[in-house]
């Protein structure tokens, strides 16, 4: 801990660890069935959209993100009270995820940080607090499935105390030395 800022532990992203916050979208360890005359595996219903409140509709977008500077002090979180929001990496690059439980008063004391291996997407459940996209590679791209329509669907909270930080040297050891060097050189 430095300057009163707690360092977040960065956990590998798993379905079990992330279940409180949403779904992990991945084919590893997921059931499938064969379609298209046996030439295609269908990993069916890995996540569901929850966007119909107040007449919302599911929309698909692409975000192109640039890494922030690390170590990163987390000073804000956002949530989408009217719909879920899914992020699926398009370029296969690892990225970070910071989340806090649902509720009206988020706390950084309850934050958790995860590292996607670049083949895993996430679907934040409606109302889950999260930091905006945390790319680790320059010009990374994500397919986003979220809500379009009327109504206020983005709450932001800014923090001045009990801050937390992310440090790249805390990435889980499952990353190869090459991946870590590539992420650090991109920053």
Q: Could you tell me the domains of the chain?
A: 6-171 (2.60.120.480)
pLDDT at residue 177, as a whole number: 46
> 186 pLDDT exceeds 50?
no
| φ/ψ (deg, to 5) at 168 | -65, -30
Neighbour count for residue 84 (Cβ, 10 Å):
22
pTM of the model as a whole: 0.90
CA distances from 69 to 54, 62, 147, 171, 184 (A): 37, 22, 29, 15, 10
**What is the mean predicted confidence (pLDDT) over 182-186?**
50
Please give the mean pLDDT across all residues of the chain: 92
pLDDT band at 63 (very low <50, low <70, confident <90, very high): very high
pLDDT band at 1 (very low <50, low <70, confident <90, very high): very low
As given in the structure block, the two tokens for residue 144 are 């986003």
11 or 178, which is more confident: 11
pLDDT in tens, 16-45: 999 999 999 999 999 999 999 999 999 999
pLDDT in tens, 165-183: 999 999 998 654 454 454 5
């Amino acid at each position: 801990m430095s300057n009163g800022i707690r360092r977040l532990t960065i956990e590998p992203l798993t379905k079990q660890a992330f279940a409180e916050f949403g779904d992990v979208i991945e084919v590893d360890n997921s059931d499938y069935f064969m379609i298209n005359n046996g030439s295609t595996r269908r990993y069916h219903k890995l996540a569901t959209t929850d966007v119909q409140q107040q007449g919302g509709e599911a929309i698909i977008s692409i975000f192109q993100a640039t890494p922030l500077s690390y170590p990163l002090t987390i000073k804000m979180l956002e949530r989408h009270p009217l719909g879920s929001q899914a992020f699926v990496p398009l370029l296969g690059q690892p990225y970070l995820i910071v989340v806090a439980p649902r509720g009206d008063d988020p706390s950084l004391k309850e934050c958790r940080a995860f590292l996607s291996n670049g083949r895993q997407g996430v679907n934040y459940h409606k109302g889950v607090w999260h930091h905006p996209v945390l790319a680790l590679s320059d010009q990374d791209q994500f397919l986003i499935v979220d809500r379009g329509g009327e109504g206020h669907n983005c709450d932001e909270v800014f923090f001045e105390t009990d801050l937390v930080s992310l440090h790249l040297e805390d990435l889980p050891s499952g990353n190869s030395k090459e991946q870590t060097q590539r992420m650090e050189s991109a920053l």
